[in-house]
A and B are shown apart, each in its own frame.
Chain A
Amino acid sequence: MFSHSIDGNKEKISGSAGISPIYARVNIDGPLFSKKSSFLTSFRSTYSDWLLSNINVPELYNSTAGFYDIQGKLDLYLNEKNKLLVNFYSSTDRFRLHSDTTYSYKNTIGSLILNHKFNFRLNSSTSLICSLFNYKISDLSSEDKSFTLTHHLSNYSLINDFEYNTGAGRKYIFGAEFNFYTINPGERRVIGTSNITPFYSANERALEYGVYAGTDFSLSDRLKVETGLRVSGLLSFDDGKKYMYSGNMPIEVENITDTLFTGRNKIQKTYITPEWRVSLNYSTGRFSSVKFSYNKTAQYIHMISNTTAISPTDTWKLSDVYVLPEKGNQFSAGYFKSFRRNRIEASGEIFYKMVDNIKQYKAGADLLLNDHLETEIINGKGKSYGFELSIEKSGGRIYGRIDYTYSRTLIKSVSEFSGELINNGNYFPANYDKPHNLNILATIKTSRRLIISTGIYYSTGRPVTYPVSKYMLGDQVFLQYSEYNKYRISDYFRTDLSVTVNSNLKKVKLIRSSMTFSLYNLTARKNAYSVYFKSEGGRFNAYQLSIFGTIIPTITYNMDF
């Protein structure tokens, strides 16, 4: 609600910079207008492209990888009752891994937030946010096979939040938000001489709204309650073309009975969902507490993801007449305790969640450049449960944190037509089901000048569907696959180590510097990014693609001023 991000330094201009063989960063922040306001800017970039174009090494020949982002923030004091925050962020990622296809992603976000104090009890925050995301995949190498694939998501929001404190330990919050989405599902553009068919899509548009009210209060000096209701909804607009399917048949291309060409500003479908939440926090002692909570949520935008593909071509889709919103009910309970004067904090939490209308894809689903995605998606039911344990030690020379989560997410497809069911309608693991997840972080300050830190990350491999047998029909050999998501790819494991040496701190210097030596993926494990099959000489061989599958050492020189 109220943004709590890093504010610029209001006292003096300060900043920091860092440079390593692969990338550089710089941030500067400082006061503005007689120290009541501040600004902050930062910029990060890799410069590998320029260097790569000058090197004649085969692996690098056809590869390029670049990233940059820039952020600017203004924290303006208008008067005693008003503060205006202006924020801008933009990032671009580009890469091409030893092939002719270039991927590029761009994110741009701008926001204006006005914080207004009515009186000592009531204040509000009004935000206007614009967020744009797009990606582009292109292959312009040969004239007759060139193409550019694009996907675009933009979001304009107006949010107004109010907070009212009664002074007797009771707080009320209420507000409204409007979010206008425009998504271009995917287009393929070609140049004149290309043999590839172009594909254009109309934009999907919808307005998501929410109105909410909630309150926090104490029932006793040990029991705090927080509860609220948010009514959310979606107005989905016509995009000009709608397919009609025959009534009691599955939604499939073969069952399209009519194509309606409609006006673009009509509302084709509305959804409305009340989202309740309640949470209880009970202090069992001075340093421990127990918490229970229940949440109901609705989601009107969905990520359509083809995880079997070797490349990242996830797209977004809004709910409409055929694609229902996902609704979830989540229960959780947790126990928190801190020891040794808050130096050690430990917590344990269990949760259970049920989701309706979770999106599942039919067999042979064609998810890219498809203007009737409803024929490839079926609604399913999902359940997710597990527990999370975490312990953190701060203060002193050693900082450490261990987080372990066990969680399962299972989905089953739901349809009145048995031909559409996956795995006969039984529960199967979701694409992102990773039962074990362990993260360990530790930082040791061996002296004032030397800091060693390490991270260990482990998670179970995600599910995958493998071909299990093959057979012949006519002169052709075909593969038979296992049940969907029955197998798993190899587990993910990575260790990082870094050593930071600070410059001599004896003198008070204008610029403090440090050098960091780090090793990414210390064990050089080839963590799988994707698994795919190739038919070679009568056999089907399985291959695993890993990125950064080796130790990567870097040196970074940092400066603070």
Chain B
Amino acid sequence: MVGIRKISVIVFITCLILVISSCVEPIVPELNNEDTKPILVVDGKITNEEGPFRVKLSNSVRVDVMYYIDPVSNAEVKIFDDKGNMFQLYSTGSGMYESADKNLKGIPGNSYTLSITTPDGMEYQSNSVLMETVTEIDSLYFEEEIRSVKTDNKIKEENWLNILLDSHDSENRIKYWYYEFEETWEVKLLTDDVPVEHNSPGSPSNITLENVMVSADKQVCWVTRSSNSILIASTVNNPVNEIKRYTVHSLGPGEDKLHIRYSILVKQSTLSPELYKFWKLLKDVNENSGGLYEKMPAQIFGNISCCDGTSRALAILPHCLLLKNGSSSISQIMM
């Protein structure tokens, strides 16, 4: 009797496991070669900060390979403004093109157009983009936050640091805001024993832990990183036209940036409605959380096209931005 009961329980459980088994497996979509052809990617900004006009040209790569940089060299790049000026940009290597004059500034109120001729003779032209006026960041500050996170049925509490900003436009003209930041933090060599890699020809590389003498002035280093997500905001439906407590960046327990000294430089820019829509679409399609709130995927092209629009480039363009920077330095935060 017991034997039968045991067997029926096993059958029962097996059936249950199979019924609710859902499985996830990788697939390799077969992509049409026409679709994966390289597309010209134009990455450039005109700002009111002093410096050369810079544009970076590259080609897109297939989605199913490891990403590699495919720069476009030997292209002819020109920027025109609506006051009759033409700025020629020269290649400085790796797909980067800079104007000869290193002290140029974009002028709010002017409109700029970009024109590119690629090595294979395709001529691209951007829409004419107006450079908007800008305003200052009111304040940049930080706040500590405690988040409870569940992993494997245990609830842990984590300490996070949020970097927030406030801004506004009292003249009520600026509705679309764009942020980018650069963070710099101090790292120190903690011990004298460091892993050293020995590479001798003909034999596999060998890593050993050795005691290395490092002079005092080389024991402290600084690392700098730029923002790697799209930070945009819109105050179009906000009658007071204020940005309050916008989270620019969040630092969590996995990072050692706050151990010694940390500084973040935030730049605020204004966007035209067309550019805001472009960034928002790019952000929605690429940075969505997945799961429930997934957004509709889409083909996104920028504001540069060639040959009566039969060919489009991926671009963000003189999205005339920039303005005054707000910066804040945080030091000696213990995590």
A and B from one assembly? yes
Binding site for B on A (CB under 8 A): 21-22, 48, 51-52, 55, 57, 59-60, 63, 65, 95, 97-98, 100-101, 137, 141-144, 149, 195, 253-254, 256, 306, 308-311, 313, 361-368, 419, 422, 465-484, 486-487, 490, 526, 529, 531-532, 534, 538-555
Q: Which residues of A contact B85 (CB under 8 A)?
A: none
Please determine whether B295 and A366 come into contact, CB atoms closer than 8 angstroms. yes
Task: List B264-314 residues whose CB lies under 8 Å from chain A.
Answer: 273, 276-277, 280-282, 284-286, 290-300, 314
Separation of A546 and B12 alpha carbons in the complex (Å): 22
Please determine whether A363 and B16 come into contact, CB atoms closer than 8 angstroms. no
Contact of A313 among B58, B225, B286, B292 (CB under 8 A): B292
Q: Which residues of B contact A306 (CB under 8 A)?
A: 294, 296
Contact of B298 among A477, A481, A487 (CB under 8 A): A481
Separation of A142 and B282 alpha carbons in the complex (Å): 31
Separation of A473 and B236 alpha carbons in the complex (Å): 26
Task: List B198-236 residues whose CB lies under 8 Å from chain A.
Answer: 225-230, 234, 236
Check if B102 is an interface residue, CB within 8 A of chain A.
Answer: no
Check A531/B39 contact, CB under 8 A, given A468-B63, A481-B298. no
Please determine whether B43 and A368 come into contact, CB atoms closer than 8 angstroms. no
Q: Which residues of B contact A22 (CB under 8 A)?
A: 15-16, 19
Write 28 A-B pairs (CB below 8 A) sorted by A numbering: A65-B20, A97-B22, A141-B150, A310-B291, A363-B299, A364-B280, A364-B295, A419-B277, A468-B63, A469-B62, A470-B60, A470-B62, A470-B63, A472-B43, A472-B58, A472-B67, A472-B69, A475-B225, A475-B228, A476-B230, A477-B67, A480-B39, A480-B63, A539-B64, A542-B28, A544-B27, A548-B21, A552-B18
Of chain A, the residue at the smallest CB distance from B59 is A471
Task: List B35-51 residues whose CB lies under 8 Å from chain A.
Answer: 35-36, 38-39, 41, 43
9 tightest Cβ-Cβ pairs between the two chains A and B:
A363-B298, A364-B284, A309-B294, A471-B60, A469-B60, A142-B150, A471-B41, A468-B35, A365-B296
Check A474/B67 contact, CB under 8 A, given A363-B281, A365-B296. no
Please determine whether B58 and A21 come into contact, CB atoms closer than 8 angstroms. no
- Closest-CB distance, A518 to chain B (whole angstroms): 11
Please determine whether A475 and B297 come into contact, CB atoms closer than 8 angstroms. no
Contact of B19 among A48, A149, A476 (CB under 8 A): A48
Check A21/B17 contact, CB under 8 A, given A473-B43, A476-B228. no
- Closest-CB distance, A543 to chain B (whole angstroms): 5
Please determine whether A363 and B300 come into contact, CB atoms closer than 8 angstroms. yes
Check if B11 is an interface residue, CB within 8 A of chain A.
Answer: yes
Q: Which residues of A contact B11 (CB under 8 A)?
A: 21, 555
Please determine whether A310 and B290 come into contact, CB atoms closer than 8 angstroms. yes
Contact of B234 among A254, A471, A475 (CB under 8 A): A254
Check if B1 is an interface residue, CB within 8 A of chain A.
Answer: no
Q: Which residues of A contact B58 (CB under 8 A)?
A: 471-472
- Closest-CB distance, A45 to chain B (whole angstroms): 14
Q: Which residues of A contact B227 (CB under 8 A)?
A: 474-475
Please determine whether A468 and B43 come into contact, CB atoms closer than 8 angstroms. no
Q: Which residues of B contact A101 (CB under 8 A)?
A: 291-292
- Closest-CB distance, B265 to chain A (whole angstroms): 15
- Closest-CB distance, B236 to chain A (whole angstroms): 5
Separation of A553 and B12 alpha carbons in the complex (Å): 11
A-B contact number at CB 8 A: 237
Separation of A539 and B297 alpha carbons in the complex (Å): 18
Q: Which residues of A contact B4 (CB under 8 A)?
A: none
Q: Of residues A21, A52, A473, A479, which shows the largest number of chain B Cβ atoms within 10 Å of its Cβ?
A: A473
Contact of A552 among B15, B59, B293, B295 (CB under 8 A): B15
Q: Which residues of A contact B284 (CB under 8 A)?
A: 364, 366
Q: Which residues of B contact A544 (CB under 8 A)?
A: 24-27
Please determine whether A540 and B63 come into contact, CB atoms closer than 8 angstroms. yes
Please determine whether B17 and A59 come into contact, CB atoms closer than 8 angstroms. yes
Separation of A311 and B62 alpha carbons in the complex (Å): 28
Separation of A526 and B26 alpha carbons in the complex (Å): 12
Q: Of residues A63, A364, A366, A551, which shows the largest number of chain B Cβ atoms within 10 Å of its Cβ?
A: A364
Check A308/B296 contact, CB under 8 A, given A364-B281, A476-B228, A542-B27. yes
Check if B191 is an interface residue, CB within 8 A of chain A.
Answer: no
Separation of A100 and B180 alpha carbons in the complex (Å): 35
Please determine whether B234 and A549 come into contact, CB atoms closer than 8 angstroms. no
- Closest-CB distance, A234 to chain B (whole angstroms): 27
Number of interface residues of B (CB under 8 A): 76
Please determine whether B300 and A472 come into contact, CB atoms closer than 8 angstroms. no
Of chain B, the residue at the smallest CB distance from A97 is B22
Q: Which residues of B contact A65 (CB under 8 A)?
A: 19-20
- Closest-CB distance, A376 to chain B (whole angstroms): 8
Q: Which residues of A contact B2 (CB under 8 A)?
A: none
Contact of A472 among B8, B21, B41 (CB under 8 A): B41
- Closest-CB distance, A242 to chain B (whole angstroms): 15
Of chain B, the residue at the smallest CB distance from A309 is B294
Q: Of residues A422, A470, A487, A540, which shows the largest number of chain B Cβ atoms within 10 Å of its Cβ?
A: A470
Q: Which residues of A contact B36 (CB under 8 A)?
A: 468-469
Check A254/B15 contact, CB under 8 A, given A63-B20, A473-B43, A543-B24. no
Q: Which residues of B contact A550 (CB under 8 A)?
A: 18, 21, 23
Q: Which residues of B contact A555 (CB under 8 A)?
A: 11
- Closest-CB distance, A524 to chain B (whole angstroms): 10
- Closest-CB distance, B63 to chain A (whole angstroms): 5
Contact of B148 among A142, A467, A483 (CB under 8 A): A142
Contact of B17 among A57, A143, A538 (CB under 8 A): A57
Check A474/B43 contact, CB under 8 A, given A22-B19, A469-B63, A538-B66. yes
Check A60/B62 contact, CB under 8 A, given A474-B43, A526-B23, A542-B29. no
Q: Which residues of B contact A542 (CB under 8 A)?
A: 26-29
Separation of A541 and B65 alpha carbons in the complex (Å): 10
Separation of A550 and B284 alpha carbons in the complex (Å): 35
Check A21/B21 contact, CB under 8 A, given A470-B60, A482-B35. no
Q: Which residues of A contact B104 (CB under 8 A)?
A: none
Check A471/B61 contact, CB under 8 A, given A254-B234, A549-B22. yes
Check if B155 is an interface residue, CB within 8 A of chain A.
Answer: yes
Contact of B63 among A59, A149, A467, A534 (CB under 8 A): A467
Separation of A374 and B296 alpha carbons in the complex (Å): 15
Please determine whether B228 and A543 come into contact, CB atoms closer than 8 angstroms. no
Check A553/B15 contact, CB under 8 A, given A480-B39, A480-B314, A547-B22. yes
- Closest-CB distance, B22 to chain A (whole angstroms): 5
- Closest-CB distance, B95 to chain A (whole angstroms): 10
Check if B333 is an interface residue, CB within 8 A of chain A.
Answer: no
Q: Which residues of B contact A472 (CB under 8 A)?
A: 41, 43, 58, 67, 69
Please determine whether B16 and A52 come into contact, CB atoms closer than 8 angstroms. yes
Check A48/B298 contact, CB under 8 A, given A55-B13, A470-B61. no
Contact of A546 among B16, B22, B175, B180 (CB under 8 A): B22
Please determine whether A60 and B16 come into contact, CB atoms closer than 8 angstroms. yes
Please determine whether B292 and A149 come into contact, CB atoms closer than 8 angstroms. yes
Q: Which residues of A contact B69 (CB under 8 A)?
A: 472
Contact of A254 among B63, B65, B273 (CB under 8 A): B273
Check if B147 is an interface residue, CB within 8 A of chain A.
Answer: yes
Please determine whether A479 and B296 come into contact, CB atoms closer than 8 angstroms. no
- Closest-CB distance, B27 to chain A (whole angstroms): 5
Of chain B, the residue at the smallest CB distance from A364 is B284
Task: List B51-85 residues whose CB lies under 8 Å from chain A.
Answer: 58-67, 69
